Chain A
Amino acid sequence: MSVLKKALSAVVLLVGFAFIYLPVIVLAVFSFHDGRAAVPPFEGPTLRWYAEVLSDPKVGQAALNSIILGLGSSALATVLAFLAAYGLGRYRVAGGEVLKGAILLPMNISYLVIGIGLLILFRNAQLPLGLGAAGLAHVIMTLPLCFAICLTAITPKQVRLEMASRDLGASQFMVLRRVTIGLAWPAIIAAFFLAFTLSWDEFIMTYLLTRFDVTIPITIWSMLRTGLNPATNALGVLVFGFSLILFVMFEIIYFRKSARRTGP
């Protein structure tokens, strides 16, 4: 009985892993393909596509733009989200639930819709498109998630510690810096990494709102016109690898630290 159950679950998981990893493996294998088109039979291996992609100044510029956009928008979104979470989680605010709902609302709206709205706004206001416009869009996209994460870090225990430090003579700024942020920093850093991961992968709003400051997802998008090109595979593998590093950092910081904090 138990053996049967184990065998069944092993088969299910095997099929599942095969389905989930099929595209990833094909992508990775054919990034080392020594031929013009990334289709079987496999020849190689070669690293020339990686060399080509890494030495392409356009890819370098796009990576730089992606990183600037990601760092800027994530930092702004995290700061705004933390302050909002602190204000709503720590203080009694009339209409607090409505405000929470308003901050979380953009999660329910398609990014395409937000992107077009911003595009029309920037056109009408005759503001320049570019990384700034895309950055605003990315802040709107990541603010709700950062807010939700930061809200989990504002706890009653923290409120008691804040009161204690205030009784001991700490100023409001000092309480915020030493106690609140001191206790909440794993959530704050995790929110930042999650925001960066989302920004790094975001396509549609960036596509609508940047004219010439292309980012990595848009570079890959325009490379698709060249067909099934192993260079696209190589860039795809590099981008995936970078996303994984970001995700692992998020996991370690958020779950390890919160496990340690709530643990015995």
Chain B
Amino acid sequence: MGKASTDRFTGYFYVTPALLVLVIGFFVPVGIMAFASLSPIKPGEWGMFDNYARFLGQPALLGALWNSLFIAGIVALASVAVGFPLAAAIVFGVPERHQRLVLTLLILPFWTSYVVRSYAWLLVLAPNGVVNQALMSVGLITEPLRLNFSVAATAIGFVHFFSMLATIIIYSGLRQIDKRLLLAAGDLGAGSVRAFVRIVLPLSAPSIAVAAFLALVMCIGDYITPQILGGNTAPVLPQAIMNQLNRSNDVPMAATLAFVLTTVVLFVVTVCVPVYRARVKS
């Protein structure tokens, strides 16, 4: 690569400021949290993993973990299921020179803030909001459905956001497929369905995996969307953490839950990334 090897310390010199800030703002706080999760609520009553035992003993907190995993799983699958057809429609149905514009326009609301986006869905799903009014005017329902403050509302808000992310990721995956492969498949007698299943789907699998993975990881860590759209019907882990902090003022338990959350995310990362790398290589 032609890197200079004259001075062994020059590289470190430039990295040091960033590392200092990272240590103060990231590694120390995370370390303090690890310590807090092991510390007793009442001074003196020391037991190494007491807080983790308390966590495992409380159905409400375990339920929050389950809700997090359940919603994140559904959201990851649904986001890919929405994003894939959209990406495919752009790649295979829109003329080359317009593709970038269509894609940019389609994912423009991605840049709305979390809070505004969640509030906007609150409007759409309100008892007298547009969805309920539309359904009633068509005659499908007579009484407005209670859509807000439910797991479904949370999931819709999440899927809206992550399907945009999935669209752009899967789009770049589909773009990399050599179109000549499809022509060759056609010449060899494969119909479009068969060509799709045997060529397009396997070759875009890595991008689908990345999209699902990002949705999963980002979804598990978010507090805003479930708090605004889900309310307290089925609290997820981040909501449980905030409750420990604000209502119970139980910092050790908040730290413990935060560590459970981090462990889940890191588990997903360490399991998914090597699998994905192996797939890409083969």
B-contacting residues of A (Cβ < 8 Å)? 1, 5-6, 8-10, 12-13, 16-17, 19-24, 26-27, 30, 37-40, 76, 79-81, 83-84, 86-88, 90-94, 96, 99, 102-103, 105-106, 108-114, 116-118, 120-121, 124, 136-137, 139-140, 143, 147, 156, 159-160, 163, 197, 200-201, 203-204, 217, 220-221, 224, 228, 232-233, 236, 239-240, 243-244, 246-247, 251
Checking B21, B90, B105, B265 against A139 with a beta-carbon cut-off of 8 angstroms, the contacting residue is B21
Decide if A91 touches B4 in the complex (CB within 8 Å): yes
Decide if B22 touches A143 in the complex (CB within 8 Å): yes
Q: How many pairs, one residue from A and one from B, have CB atoms within 8 Å of each other in the complex?
A: 263
Decide if A92 touches B11 in the complex (CB within 8 Å): yes
Decide if B223 touches A221 in the complex (CB within 8 Å): no
Decide if B22 touches A21 in the complex (CB within 8 Å): no
Decide if B261 touches A110 in the complex (CB within 8 Å): yes
Distance to closest chain B CB from A24 (angstroms)? 5
Q: How far does the alpha carbon of A80 sit from the alpha carbon of B23 in the complex, in Å?
A: 13
Decide if A140 touches B115 in the complex (CB within 8 Å): no
Decide if B14 touches A86 in the complex (CB within 8 Å): yes
Decide if A136 touches B4 in the complex (CB within 8 Å): no
In the complex, whether B2 has a CB less than 8 A from a CB of chain A is yes
CB-CB nearest in chain A for B239: A112
Decide if B29 touches A118 in the complex (CB within 8 Å): yes
CB-CB nearest in chain B for A136: B25
Central interface residue in A20, A23, A114, by most chain B CB within 10 Å = A23
Which residues of chain B in 239-259 are interfacial with respect to chain A, using CB atoms and an 8 Å cutoff?
A: 241-242, 245, 251, 254-255, 258-259
Secondary structure type dominating chain A contacts: helix
Which residues of chain B in 4-29 are interfacial with respect to chain A, using CB atoms and an 8 Å cutoff?
A: 4-5, 7-8, 10-15, 17-19, 21-22, 24-26, 28-29
Decide if B112 touches A39 in the complex (CB within 8 Å): no
Q: How far does the alpha carbon of A247 sit from the alpha carbon of B105 in the complex, in Å?
A: 12
Decide if A88 touches B108 in the complex (CB within 8 Å): no
CB-CB nearest in chain A for B13: A87
Decide if B265 touches A239 in the complex (CB within 8 Å): no
Decide if A23 touches B160 in the complex (CB within 8 Å): yes
Q: How far does the alpha carbon of A157 sit from the alpha carbon of B37 in the complex, in Å?
A: 49
